[in-house]
Amino acid sequence: MIIDYPWYYVLFCLLAGAAYSAGLYFVGRRRFSKRMNLLLAAVRFVAVSAIALLLLAPVAKRTVNEQQKPVVVVVQDISESIDTSIFSILNSKFEIDECELVYEEFGGSTTDISAELDDIANHYQGRNLGAVVLATDGIYNRGNNPASTAERLTFPVYTVALGDTTPQRDAALASIRHNRIAFTGNTFPVELTINARRLKNHSAQLTLTDAHGKALAMQQVDYSDDLFSTTLTFELKAEKPGLQRYTASLSVVDGERETVNNVLTFYTDVLDSRRKVAIIGNSPHPDLAALKQAVESNPNYEAKVFMNEELRMKTEELKDYSLLIFHNLPSTTQAIKQSNNNAIYIIGTQTDLARFNALHTGLEIVARTKKVNEVTALYNNAFSLFTLDAADAIALEELPPLTAPFGEVKTSPNLQSLLTARLGSINTGQPLVSALVQGQQRRAFVWGEGLWRWRLVDFLNNKSHDHFDRLVSQLVNFAAITDNRERFIVETERHYSDNDEVMVHAQLYNESYEPFNTPEAKLTLQGVQGSVENHKGVQGDYNFSRQGSGYTLSLGTLPEGLYRYTATTTYDGTTYTAEGAFAVEALHLEQANLTANHTLLKTISSITGGKMFYPDQLSSLNAELQTLKPVIYTHTRFSEMLNLLWVLILIILLLSLEWVLRKYHGEV
């Protein structure tokens, strides 16, 4: 028994029991015989002392031994390269009395053996995982090398070697590299890798066609070796805007085992032209290059850097630009004119705040000193003009400080802060990165310079510039929207693979361009090209679900092909419509390699202390698993005695015994 009070508190409890029983049975006139008084006093002493002890909230400590049967996880690879008829035999062969058998499946259009082993290790962590039986052909086309993963495992992996290790007569389009986005009138490269086995001295024809079957390029391929591999490069011209479907096909040679891997379909989004962004600086600064690189990370935009003095009195130069980014402008030496262009202002140490305030942009900074602050970013989740990914928000908060002019801020009621300024550990609440919609114009502000450090440290921390580039891209996307913006916007990825979940997001805006989702929203989907022509089940009407202030819809996984959608919603008597398209590409990774890799399976088993078996050796595998034994775990449990039922029963029995003795024994 354990209590949180000093040991002498137990004496107080015993004294309380003794005093209570003595006062009841030994003070005043004796009602029972001497022997009976002693018995009754003893019973009352124990009961009262026990109740007093319970008030100290004692805890009972006990050691418990538990026996856990070993778990054997039988993992079956159901990928397209395997004859799954073996699994009915596999499931019936294991009879292990001392083990708990669990059957799982993995694989499909892609196979990631490493991820499956990691998932099992994480799921059964802390349990008696006796062994894993992995039934597969050793072919994987996703993830890490399973042999490297096996080195971290703490349980034996017994492999069942499936498939055929004899190289089959086969040619395949093993991989393709192409531009996801191109621009009308431009050419873009397509790079195809062809692998062939046991086809020496044979030839095939490689043809590239468009969605209408028109041949765009052709080339003969001569298989000069039984283990043949080559890479061919073509240049295609982007002629029509829109999501374009192309097909690469390799003619079939007699005796090929598979033909599905002779065809690959790919999609390229052809855009009319890039939108232009002008980055205008007061003077040369490393921020300008960082901004240009971040803007052009979005293939829909091209950026050009100007010095302000180059554009002085040349407002015609800017008419073709969708967005202007002013860096350290206006300054004491250079003014800028307010134009109809949407703009982003980078307010730094060279910015003349008086001139800037005179532009009436919706943000004013009143400074009574020329001091500067070093401020870091703090994400404001109340920002609603666009959505910043949670991972980006975390990464931005870890970036170094920007150098910002010291001053007091005055803002328009429409201005929202995406990132607020943090001075040391204090959140000042002042806008570090902010945006607003003012009439028919959109503006964004960065109160501080040193963005080049953000981009550099983002790469040092995360091995990429993605977090910084996405921030700039979202600011540019927001600010570059023209005044004829749509009220109902639907967003999808342009490309999915056939094992990806297709997610659709939508946003409806009111007259003030504030997001809301009061009315219902629907989407009609239609497959227009590819294998989806015979999949009527994927076409039809779907209802959006409300999420936050917008809408979301999951279409699940879809077959390969080109899809068009029309989304509609009705509000206040007006129907809003949004149309678009996306492509689903078939990976066909399972057909790229059909030769079983039993060497890998033997390596996995050897590293983990298991063995490799063939399907006709399952009885031997079953005997091997019979050697697994239960494990006894010893652990300590703590229970509050106040919650133990037997303690309550004991006290009730003692008091009941006292009552019975008093009732059936008369007074002396």
CATH number of 496's domain: 2.60.40.1930
Q: Measured between alpha carbons, how far is residue 65 from residues 130, 634, 640 in Å?
A: 19, 5, 20
Per-residue pLDDT at 239 exceeds 50: yes
Count up the domains in the chain and report the number.
5
Question: What average pLDDT does this structure show over 434-440?
Answer: 83
| Domain finish residue from 450, 479, 508 | 479
Q: Region 101-122: what's the mean pLDDT?
A: 80
CATH number at residue 176: 2.60.40.10
Residues 199 and 228: beta-carbon distance below 8 Å: yes
643 and 605 in a common domain: no
* Model confidence at 397: pLDDT above 90: yes
b/e string for 512-529 if b means 16 or more Cβ within 10 A? eeebebeeebebebebeb
- How much of the chain exceeds pLDDT 70, in percent? 89
Q: Quick one: average pLDDT of 48-70?
A: 79
pLDDT band of residue 668 (cuts 50, 70, 90) is very low
pLDDT of residue 83: 62
Give the pLDDT band (50/70/90) at residue 588: low
* Across 42-46, average pLDDT: 87
pLDDT of residue 591: 56
Asked whether residue 339 falls in the same domain as residue 455, the answer is yes
Distance separating alpha carbons of residues 131 and 610, to the nearest angstrom: 8
Q: Are residues 337 and 247 in the same domain?
A: no
Last residue of a domain, one of 461, 479, 497: 479
pLDDT at position 533 is: 43
**Residue 487 dihedral angles phi and psi, to the nearest 5°:** -90, -25
pLDDT of residue 427 exceeding 70, the answer is yes
Domain boundary among 479, 504, 531: 479
**Six-digit token string for 436:** 């607003």
Q: 252 and 306 share a domain?
A: no
Domain limits at 509? 488-585
* CATH code of residue 84: 3.40.50.410
Instruction: Supply the DSSP string of 174-213, one letter for each residue.
Output: EEEEE-SEEETT-EEEEEEEEEEES-TTEEEEEEEEETT-
DSSP 449-484: B-HHHHHHHHHHHHSSSHHHHHHHHHHHHHHT--TT
How, if at all, do strands 187-197 and 227-237 pair? antiparallel
In percent, the amount of the chain with pLDDT more than 90 equals 28
Residues 351 and 233 both lie in one domain:
no
Domain CATH number, residue 337: 3.40.50.880
Of the candidate ranges 343-352, 508-517, 557-566, 569-578, the one whose mean pLDDT is the lowest: 508-517
Q: For the chain, give the mean pLDDT.
A: 83
Separation of alpha carbons 566 and 2, rounded Å: 69
DSSP H helices in 238-306: 286-295
pLDDT at 484: 46
Asked whether residue 238 falls in the same domain as residue 327, the answer is no
How confident is the model at residue 496, as a pLDDT? 84
**Per-residue pLDDT tens over the stretch 534-551:** 444 457 889 999 988 889
Q: Do 601 and 648 reside in the same domain of the chain?
A: no
Same domain? For 292 and 350 the reply is: yes
Residue 27 belongs to a domain: yes
Amino acid identity of 665? H
**655 pLDDT higher than 80:** yes
Is residue 102 situated within a structural domain?
yes
What's the pLDDT score for residue 663? 78
Residues 375 and 410 in one domain: yes
Look at residue 51 in the predicted model and tell me its pLDDT: 86
pLDDT tens by residue, 142-195: 778 888 888 888 889 999 888 777 777 888 888 888 887 787 778 889 999 998
State yes or no: pLDDT of 522 exceeds 90.
Answer: yes
pLDDT for residue 173: 86
Do 19 and 115 lie in one domain? The reply is: no
